[in-house]
Amino acid sequence: MNVTVVGAGSWGTAVAGLLSADAVTLWARRPDVAQSINLHRANPDYLINYQVPDGVSATADLEEAVTDADLLIWGVPSHGYRAVLAAAAPLIAPTTPIVSLSKGIEQETLMRMTEVTSDVLPDHDRNCNGVLTGPNLAREIAEGQPAAAVIAMADKDLATRLQAVFHGPSFRVYTNTDVIGAESAGALKNVMAIGAGMAHGMGFGMNSIATFITRALFELTRVGTALGGKPLTFAGLAGMGDLIATCMSDQSRNHRVGHGIGQGKTVEQIVAEMNMVAEGVKSTRGILAIAEREGVDVPIAEQVGRVLYEGATAAEVLGYLMGRAAGSETEGLIT
């Protein structure tokens, strides 16, 4: 099987490494990144101190990367996903599986990435569009630490075939047919991770963090089920698993954004210090628009939005959340 990973960021590079027992092509937007991988087996701008396996061949030529691929793994961030896919569109067969690694929302359309794929490729079989998601911090995966993920595809048989492609000694992969739930959970948890980072940055302890994560899970479940996701998906790796990892780890870019805010830095300062995308900074606005459209209460996302876009402080928004009236724990959930 000819496998191509499109996008040589930290996660795209780590996934290419996972699949490198067989030859895999990795497309990099920047020619210097492709050259560094091929000549030095290194991607220092995105995954420092990682020895890229010899089975990974990098290129900055999109046509070379995509032509004749039997499986396309799309690791381009949400803001660039459509443009790169559109450039490759004439080269993609209607039944070539496309697996998204991106955990974001397209701001202009409020589409999930599999929806963007179908929009850009109207003749492409929608059953071949899916997502790989879960508690997958790129650095830990690259180091070979034990982890698990979900491959979500509408076609269960295809999901099972792709499960075998991704599954390895230190990387367990489960299948799910709930693409909406798995994908929306990935986008929503980024917003929640910013809030958790704020709590960490302010020095709060585990009671506070556990409370926050639990309420965040309920919030993302309300939104995800309103979009058509299945409640159990949010209790699994795509939901709770990814939420815990992203809310607890300083490897998470979204957590780092929140942590900096909690320590008094501005969003602009924090983003300027990062050379990689924190999806939550961009996607919070889209998540708020989706929640308004669906009529779903999202107090955490609203307060994260106040900090990101209106200049509110972490202390102000966390104080607001603690001062809200406490109703039923399961209010608004589909049971």
Which residue is it, tokens 């992203």? 246
Is 189 considered catalytic here? yes
Q: Calculate the alpha carbon distances from 167 to 150, 195, 275, 293 in Å.
A: 10, 32, 30, 38
Q: Where are the alpha helices (DSSP H) in 2-61?
A: 10-18, 31-40
Residue positions counted in the chain: 335
Which residue is it, tokens 């889209």? 286
Q: Where are the alpha helices (DSSP H) in 148-205?
A: 156-166, 179-201
What is the three-class DSSP state of 154? coil
Cα atoms in the 13 Å half-sphere on the side-chain side of 226: 19
Inter-helix orientation angle 253-262/179-201, to 10°: 30
Distance CA 218, CA 215 (A): 5
The number of angstroms, rounded, from the C-alpha of 263 to the middle of its chain's C-alpha atoms is 25
Distance CA 250, CA 150 (A): 23
Q: Active site residue: 189, 230, 265, 282, which one? A: 189
Distance CA 4, CA 20 (A): 11
> What is the dihedral angle through the alpha carbons of 89, 278, 134, 87, rounded to the nearest 10 degrees?
0
Say which amino acid occupies 215: R
C-beta atoms surrounding 311 within 10 Å: 10
What is the three-class DSSP state of 204? coil
Instruction: State the catalytic residues.
Output: 189
